[in-house]
């Protein structure tokens, strides 16, 4: 089998930023395309650093949550610059996952936002109004006064909060270099996700197998722990043709899936999240999700069982911590946001005295027979400018490099919608070397 791209899609059928007061399609803002842009840029950055494809995971949803918090404080050209990437009126509501109608443990999705604010602006009326807006729009958003005079102490406090929220998965999100005496604000979002498969893999059927991976850019066969399960509940969200093998594996929640996508040509992993691929006739993730969820496609899987083989994998946060400033400034063209002279976050303090001085992210993921555990955290620091049934069976073996996303679709107007550009993307990444994913 050739190069595979495995897409864990946590937000599956139609999640997007939705007004907390009105879950209607008219209030939705497409997030999936923004997530694809981030995935493509992050992949290119890591490929350039390593000189070849490598494993990674990140959380578009966590990054976009912090971006949305900063957006609420922006004004003038800075606001317009940020809106060109993602325009929204409200912070995204945190989906409520439920195992109703399913056996097993209920899925867990916990997301908490915190604003660390320097003592000297904690009582600024503009800041109080800004914090009030974030709290009203984000049910898990709180503000905490802090001194940044001692960078190590401030970093330790922020990291302690993140470690607590991620259940000790992420312990060193920020360093003393990310904050300092001129820091006035740090926006933090921490997320923990745990969900069981609707149809768990049988641990006794897991056995050693071969993963056709990439190591230092060269094809290599690697030994892997291959899990096996037969998915019986049709219709299945899947697509199999001479260009791609793809399937959505359901979690113990009606709206939560892991998407697996394996292009026949491994080179398409590079372009799977590039929107230009659609124009060039190449595979594009969002088009695949829509096609997989189409009535025509799902109808083809009625009465079919799927024998799925999937390698276990795990990526930790130590190797998946990313400085986001080069991506947003250089790749996405947000120059003024990080410019000490041009940035305008006057809705936070009442003056044009803040700019984004640090923007970091970390994530991890573990996939086994029972389900998935994934955590993430993002921090954005703002500094004062300064002075600085018996049925046909289809076999699907996931045995090569893959990209992954976790996608979720909340119901809209009481209906679960098919996946598309409004999906929330919680986590996104790729596995090219299973030997390095343990």
Q: Is 239 in the same domain as 306?
A: yes
CA angle at 424 for the pair 419 and 427, rounded to the nearest 5°: 110
**Residue-range definition of the domain harbouring residue 394:** 203-314+367-372+390-436
The pLDDT, as a whole number, for residue 277 is 84
Torsion of CA 231, 232, 237, 240, to 10 degrees: 70
Statement to judge: residues 301 and 229 lie in one domain: yes
pLDDT at residue 337, rounded to an integer: 96
- Domain identity same for 263 and 207: yes
Q: pLDDT at position 376, please?
A: 96
**Residue 411: strand, helix, or coil:** coil
In a domain, 246, yes or no: yes
The answer to the question of residue 142 being in a domain is yes
8 Å CB contact between 321 and 360: yes
Number of domains in the chain: 2
pLDDT for the residue numbered 107: 87
Q: Token pair 């996931």 is at which residue?
A: 398
Strand ordering across the sheet containing 305-311: 207-215, 218-231, 305-311, 393-397
Residue pointed to by tokens 């991890």: 364
Amino acid 7: pLDDT:
35
Residue with token string 């599956």: 12
- C-alpha pair distances (Å), 315 with each of 175, 284, 377, 423: 21, 24, 15, 24
Instruction: For residue 302, give the CATH number of its domain.
Output: 2.30.39.10
Facing residues of 213 across strands?
220
Pairing of strands 244-250, 393-397: unpaired
pLDDT per residue rounded down to tens, the chain (438 residues): 332 333 333 333 333 344 333 444 444 456 788 899 999 999 999 999 988 888 999 999 999 999 999 999 999 999 999 999 988 777 777 778 776 666 667 889 999 999 999 998 999 999 999 999 998 887 678 999 999 999 999 999 999 999 999 999 999 999 999 999 999 999 999 999 999 999 999 999 999 999 998 888 888 999 999 999 999 876 788 888 888 888 899 898 888 899 988 888 888 888 888 878 878 888 888 888 989 888 888 888 787 889 999 999 999 999 899 999 999 999 999 999 999 999 999 999 998 999 999 999 999 999 999 999 999 999 999 998 864 345 567 778 888 878 788 888 766 666 655 666 677 888 887 888 888 887
Give, for 349, the enclosing helix (H) or strand (E): helix 346-349
241-263 in b/e form (b: 16+ CB < 10 A) is eeebbbbbbbbbbbbbbbbbbbb
Rounded Cα gap, residues 143 and 146, in angstroms? 10
Residue 185 in domain:
yes
Per-residue confidence (pLDDT) for residue 415, from 0 to 100: 61
In a domain, residue 356? The reply is: yes
pTM, entire model: 0.87
Q: Are residues 116 and 190 in the same domain?
A: yes
Closest CA to 215 of 58, 401, 43: 401
Are 275 and 413 contained in the same domain?
yes
Residue bearing tokens 């899925």? 107
The candidate with the shortest Cα–Cα distance to 256, out of 318, 193, 171, is 193
Residues 225 and 117 in one domain: no
Burial of 296 per CB tally in 10 Å (0-12, 13-18, 19+): exposed
**Long-range Cβ pairs for the range 77-80 (8 Å, 24+):** 77/336, 77/342, 77/344, 78/336, 78/337, 78/342, 78/343, 78/344, 78/345, 79/344
- In this structure, what CATH number is given to the domain that contains residue 182? 3.30.497.10
Residues 118 and 171 in one domain: yes
Model pLDDT, residue 15: 36
Tokens in use for 137?
């729009």
Query: Do residues 348 and 258 share a domain?
Result: no
How far is the C-alpha of 19 from the C-alpha of 25, rounded, in Å?
10
Q: Is residue 244, in this structure, part of any structural domain at all?
A: yes
If asked whether residues 172 and 222 sit together in one domain, one would say no
* Cα–Cα distance list, 314 to 101, 236, 257 (Å): 29, 26, 18
Q: What is the pLDDT of residue 18?
A: 40
Q: Is there a single domain that holds both residue 207 and residue 137? A: no
Paired strand residues for 358: 381
Q: Are residues 303 and 356 in the same domain?
A: no
Burial environment of residue 368 by CB neighbours within 10 A (0 to 12, 13 to 18, 19 or more): middle
């Amino acid at each position: 089998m050739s190069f595979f791209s495995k897409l864990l899609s946590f937000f599956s059928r139609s999640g997007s930023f939705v007004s907390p007061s009105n879950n209607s399609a008219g209030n939705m803002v497409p997030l999936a395309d923004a997530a694809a842009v981030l995935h493509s840029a992050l992949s290119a950055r890591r490929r350039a650093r390593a000189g070849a494809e490598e494993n990674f995971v990140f959380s578009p949803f966590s990054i976009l949550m912090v971006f949305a918090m900063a957006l609420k404080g922006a004004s003038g050209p800075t606001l317009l610059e940020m809106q060109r990437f993602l325009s929204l009126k409200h912070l995204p509501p945190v989906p409520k996952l439920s195992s109703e109608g399913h056996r097993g443990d209920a899925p867990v999705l916990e997301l908490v936002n915190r604003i660390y604010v320097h003592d000297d602006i904690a009582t600024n009326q503009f800041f109080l109004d800004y914090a009030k807006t974030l709290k009203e729009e984000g049910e898990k958003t709180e503000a905490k006064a802090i001194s940044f005079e001692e960078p190590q102490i401030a970093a330790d406090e922020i990291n302690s909060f993140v470690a607590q929220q991620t259940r000790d998965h992420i312990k060193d999100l920020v360093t003393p270099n990310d904050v300092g005496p001129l820091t006035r604000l740090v926006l933090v979002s921490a997320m923990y996700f745990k969900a069981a498969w609707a149809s768990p893999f049988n641990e006794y059927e897991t056995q050693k197998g071969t993963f056709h991976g990439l190591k230092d850019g060269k094809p290599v066969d690697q030994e892997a722990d291959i899990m096996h399960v037969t998915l019986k509940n049709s219709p299945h969200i899947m697509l199999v043709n001479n260009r791609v093998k793809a399937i959505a594996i359901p979690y113990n929640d009606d709206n939560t899936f892991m998407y697996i996508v394996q292009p026949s040509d491994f080179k398409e992993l590079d372009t799977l999240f590039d929107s230009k691929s659609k124009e060039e006739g190449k595979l594009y993730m969002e088009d695949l999700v829509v096609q997989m969820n189409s009535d025509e496609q799902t109808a083809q899987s009625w009465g079919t069982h799927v024998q799925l083989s999937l390698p276990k994998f795990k990526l930790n946060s130590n190797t998946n911590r990313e400085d986001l400033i080069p991506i947003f400034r250089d790749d996405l063209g947000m120059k003024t946001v990080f410019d000490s002279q041009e940035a305008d976050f006057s809705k936070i303090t009442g003056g044009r005295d803040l700019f984004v001085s640090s923007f970091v992210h970390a994530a991890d993921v573990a996939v086994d027979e029972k389900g998935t555990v994934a955590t993430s955290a993002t921090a954005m620091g703002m500094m004062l400018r300064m002075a600085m049934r018996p049925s046909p069976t289809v076999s699907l073996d996931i045995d090569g490099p893959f990209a992954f996303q976790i996608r979720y679709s909340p119901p809209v107007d009481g209906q679960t919608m098919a996946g598309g550009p409004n999906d929330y993307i919680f986590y996104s990444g790729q596995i090219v070397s299973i030997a390095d994913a343990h």
